[in-house]
Amino acid sequence: MALSLTVNGEQRSLEVEGDTPLLWVIRDELGLKGTKFGCGAGLCGACTVHLDGQPVRSCSTPVELAAGGEVTTIEGLGDRERLHALQEAWIEHGVPQCGYCQSGQIMSAAHLLATNASPSREDIVAAMTGNLCRCGTYSRIVAAVESVAN
Ligand code: FES
């Protein structure tokens, strides 16, 4: 099927099967490799992107559900001039270890702060619960999010 969607502010037109996971489209059709494949089953959060402002697991989101929508990936989180404040905080706090899950972590954190600029520690932990990190960087993730929160 032919469909179009907006990815990181750019209109993209695709010829693709509607049940193709959004993650494949992002990585293989559009070449945006910052979004990662972890479990492929909607369980780990590594593939988190925003669809119309909401965090979604792109591995288990058929691309047809994103038709006409606005997708933001880690590459589009900041602006062309600078990183998003969370990306800066991730660097300052040395959050990543292997780094594999971190784009999904940041996308979930960005949604939290977009909806709650002053989250408590409990709010942060609750919001990040669905994003798994096998390196166990959780305490640094919380510290980085707290540093950006008001
Ligand atoms: Fe999508 Fe794990 S790769 S939730």
pLDDT tens string 44-89:
999 999 999 999 999 999 999 999 999 999 999 998 889 999 999 9
How many angstroms does the Cα of residue 68 sit away from the middle of ligand 1? 23
Identify which of 74, 76, 49, 75 has the alpha carbon closest to the alpha carbon of residue 63: 49
Kindly tell me if the per-residue pLDDT of 107 is higher than 90.
yes
40/137 Cα distance (integer angstroms): 21
pLDDT of residue 80: 82
Domain end among 39, 56, 76: 76
Residues 57 and 107 in one domain: no
How many angstroms does the Cα of residue 139 sit away from the middle of ligand 1? 21
Residues 23-32 have a mean pLDDT of: 98
- Residues pairing with 32 in the sheet: none
Domain of residue 118: give its range: 85-148
92/86 Cα distance (integer angstroms): 10
Q: What ligand 1 atom has the least distance to the C-alpha of 58?
A: 1
Mean pLDDT score of the chain: 97
pLDDT of residue 144: 98
Q: Cα 48 to the chain's mean position, in Å?
A: 4
Q: Where in 16-145 does DSSP place strands (E)? A: 48-51, 54-57, 70-72
How many angstroms does the Cα of residue 19 sit away from the middle of ligand 1? 16
Domain end among 43, 76, 109: 76
pLDDT of residue 146: 97
Number of domains in the chain: 2
Q: CATH number of the domain at 95, please.
A: 1.10.150.120
Domain end among 76, 94, 122: 76
> Which distant-in-sequence residues (6+ apart) come within 8 Å of 2 by Cβ?
13, 14, 15
The confidence band for 123, taking pLDDT boundaries of 50, 70 and 90, is: very high
Residues 67 and 97 in one domain: no
What is the CB neighbour count within 10 angstroms for residue 9? 11
Percent of the chain with pLDDT over 90: 97
Kindly tell me if the per-residue pLDDT of 150 is higher than 90.
no
Contact 64, 1 (CB under 8 A): yes
